[in-house]
C-alpha cells in the first residue's frame, strides 16, 4: 500500500472579513506535495500564495476544506498538537531573518531545541553541526550585528534545519539580499533538498529564484493557475 503524500490540500478555501469586506484569499485549492520535492510558489500580490504558505506552516487554518500532513487532517489536531507539528516537522526561513538581536549565532540556532527541552550539551552540539552545514563554522559566537545579511540568513537556515525537519518553508528567503548573496543562499537551500532530502516549499516573486525549484506553482486570484515541473533545476519562468 502506497504512503499518502507528505502534504495535501483538499478543496482548501480561506476567507477573511464579512459582507462587502469579505475577501476569498484561497478558493477550493487542491494540491499535493511529495517527500523530497523542491517547490516554488509564485503569483502576484493578493494571489493567495502567502495565505497558502501560512496554512502549510500551521500558522493559519482553512475556512473550508482540509490540509492533510502525512495523511492526517490537521483540522483534527488541537492547538498543542499544531504546535508540536510545527516544532518537530517544519522549519521556517523568513525574508527578514527574524534573529534575536545581541545574541550569538549559536544561541539563535539553539532556540528551537530549547523549546524541545533538550539539555544544554546536546543542543549546543546540534547547533554547531547546523552552523557548519551552512558554512558558518567558526562564527558561532558572532552576534547578529557582527554578521552580514547573507550570514544572518545562513544562521536563520541553520536554526530551521537544526531540528531535522521534514519540510523547510522559505518565504522570500532572498528578498533582502544582493544578487551574489542570493545565489549563495539558493545554492545552500538546493543542497539541503538534494543532499539531505528536506522537502522545500518556497514563496518568491523573483523568476530567477523560482528557477532553482524542481516544480513551480503559480497562484492567481486564490486558485492554482499553473503547476509545472522544472526538469532542468533552472528554467524560464512565466
Residues 139-193 have pLDDT tens digits of 999 998 899 999 999 999 999 999 999 999 999 999 889 999 999 999 999 999 9
Would 98 be classed as within a structural domain?
yes
Pairing of the two strands 23-33 and 223-229: unpaired
Contact 203, 219 (CB under 8 A): no
Would 59 be classed as within a structural domain?
no
The domain of 135 spans: 36-46+79-229
Pairing of the two strands 90-94 and 167-171: parallel
Would 170 be classed as within a structural domain?
yes
Contact 27, 224 (CB under 8 A): no
Would 175 be classed as within a structural domain?
yes
Instruction: Quickly state the pLDDT bin for 214 (edges 50, 70, 90).
Output: very high
Domain count, the chain: 1
Mean pLDDT for the stretch of residues 8-12: 97
> What 8-state DSSP symbol labels residue 106?
H
Q: What is the CATH number of the domain that holds 178?
A: 3.40.50.300
Mean pLDDT for the stretch of residues 20-46: 94
Q: Is residue 237 over pLDDT 50?
A: no
Would 54 be classed as within a structural domain?
no
Would 9 be classed as within a structural domain?
no
Would 85 be classed as within a structural domain?
yes
Q: What predicted TM-score, i.e. pTM, was given to this entire model?
A: 0.92
Would 14 be classed as within a structural domain?
no
d(CA 96, CA 54): 16
Amino acid at each position: 500500500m502506497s504512503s499518502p503524500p507528505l502534504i495535501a490540500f483538499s478543496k482548501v478555501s480561506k476567507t477573511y472579513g464579512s459582507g462587502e469586506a469579505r475577501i476569498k484569499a484561497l478558493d477550493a485549492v487542491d494540491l499535493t506535495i511529495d517527500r523530497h520535492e523542491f517547490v516554488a510558489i509564485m503569483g502576484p500580490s493578493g494571489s493567495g500564495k502567502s495565505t497558502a504558505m501560512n496554512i502549510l506552516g500551521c500558522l493559519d487554518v482553512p475556512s473550508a476544506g482540509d490540509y492533510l500532513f502525512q495523511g492526517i487532517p490537521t483540522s483534527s489536531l488541537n492547538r498543542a498538537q499544531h504546535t508540536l507539528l510545527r516544532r518537530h516537522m517544519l522549519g521556517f526561513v523568513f525574508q527578514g531573518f527574524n534573529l534575536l538581536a545581541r545574541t550569538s549565532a549559536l544561541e539563535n540556532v539553539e532556540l528551537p531545541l530549547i523549546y524541545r527541552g533538550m539539555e544544554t550539551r546536546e543542543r549546543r552540539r546540534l547547533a554547531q553541526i547546523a552552523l557548519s552545514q551552512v558554512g558558518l563554522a567558526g562564527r558561532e559566537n558572532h552576534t547578529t550585528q557582527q554578521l552580514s545579511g547573507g550570514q544572518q540568513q545562513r544562521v536563520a537556515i541553520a536554526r530551521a534545519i537544526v531540528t531535522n525537519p521534514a519540510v523547510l518553508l522559505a518565504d522570500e528567503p532572498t528578498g533582502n539580499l544582493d544578487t551574489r548573496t542570493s545565489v549563495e543562499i539558493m545554492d545552500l537551500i538546493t543542497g539541503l533538498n538534494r543532499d539531505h532530502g528536506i522537502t522545500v516549499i518556497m514563496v518568491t516573486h523573483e523568476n530567477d529564484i523560482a528557477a532553482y525549484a524542481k516544480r513551480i506553482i503559480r497562484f492567481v486570484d486564490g486558485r492554482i493557475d499553473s503547476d509545472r515541473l522544472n526538469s532542468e533545476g533552472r528554467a524560464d519562468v512565466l
